[in-house]
Amino acid sequence: MVRFENVGLRYGLGPEILRDLSFQIPAHSFQFLTGPSGAGKTSLLRLLFLSLRPTRGLVNLFGHDVSLLGKDAVADLRKRIGIVLQDFRLLDHMTTYENVALPFRVMGREESSYRKEVIDLLKWVGLGERMDALPPILSGGEKQRAAIARAVISRPQLLLADEPTGNVDPTLGRRLLRLFIELNKSGTAVIIATHDITLMDQYEARRFVLHQGRLHIYE
């Protein structure tokens, strides 16, 4: 599903922050991505989400060499990827429900066709009572859950999550991990970038450790 070969990344003329990354992410797989702050976890997720292009090396996503993709093809591929970012990126003028339903709306689906699914998921992540609230009045944890719900609602083939449990209590963190595991069981490859060792210890999965720009994989 994802193949990196000798991938390097630098910003502008700065030093290379990711070096010689070579790995594969098979379909239906689950992995944690960890490493110290500034190790390049977010940059690697952005490479996987195609919002950054590598400075060198080959990135192959869903069988496509990303260096050859045009804008429309990138948009099509992104529809198969869900992403949860640290700063949530919710739209402030839309309710929690509308934010979570946004991927369906962009696909052109009728509201009635996804209403039940969205409401069920909002209940599951503990936002059942907040579905008509606007993001500015949500707490950090609630925003995070809404962002996760938006990323998983359309059952992407690949889910990228950057510190998805950083703002929630351990109980809710476990509940969200269960959501990711359920999603993985239904066929989605999951990559969770986290510092939270307790979270990683709760589920046996492959660990990618980034250190000084290099990737070490622990099966």
Partner 1 sequence: MSRAPNQHGPLVDLGNERPQVPARARNLSPIVPRASIAGRALVAVVAIMTFLASITTGTVLLVSASAAEWQSEVASEITIQVRPTAGRDLDRDAAAVTAAMRAQPGIIEVRPFTKDESAKLLEPWLGSGLVLDDLPVPRVIVARVQPGTALDLAALRRAVTLVAPTASVDDHRAWIERMRSMTGATVFAGIGILALVIVATIISVSFATRGAMAANRPIVEVLHFVGAGDRYIANRFLRHFLRLGLEGGLIGGGIAMLAFGFSESIAGWFSGTPVGDQFAALLGTFSLRPSGYLALAAQALLIAAITAWASRRTLFATLDDID
How far apart are CB 213 and partner 1 at their closest, in Å? Answer: 25
How far apart are CB 91 and partner 1 at their closest, in Å? Answer: 6
Distance CA 87, CA 163 (A): 10
Spell out the residues 6+ positions from residue 108 whose beta carbon is closer than 8 angstroms to its own. none
Q: Which residue number, 129 or 212, has a Cβ lying nearer to partner 1? A: 129
CB 44 within 8 A of CB 50: no
Q: Which residue number, 110 or 219, has a Cβ lying nearer to partner 1? A: 110
How far apart are CB 21 and partner 1 at their closest, in Å? Answer: 23
How far apart are CB 155 and partner 1 at their closest, in Å? Answer: 6
- Beta strand 16-25 pairing with 2-10: antiparallel
Q: Which residue number, 76 or 169, has a Cβ lying nearer to partner 1? A: 76
Distance CA 167, CA 156 (A): 23
Encoding tokens for residue 61?
Answer: 């996503």
Helix (H, G, I), strand (E, B) or coil at 183: helix
Length in residues, the chain: 219
Q: Which residue number, 38 or 128, has a Cβ lying nearer to partner 1? A: 128
- Residues lying near partner 1 in the complex (CB under 8 A) are found at 27, 49, 51, 62, 71-72, 74-76, 78-81, 83, 85, 89-91, 93-95, 97-98, 101-107, 109, 111-117, 119-121, 123-124, 128, 150, 152-157, 179, 182-183, 186
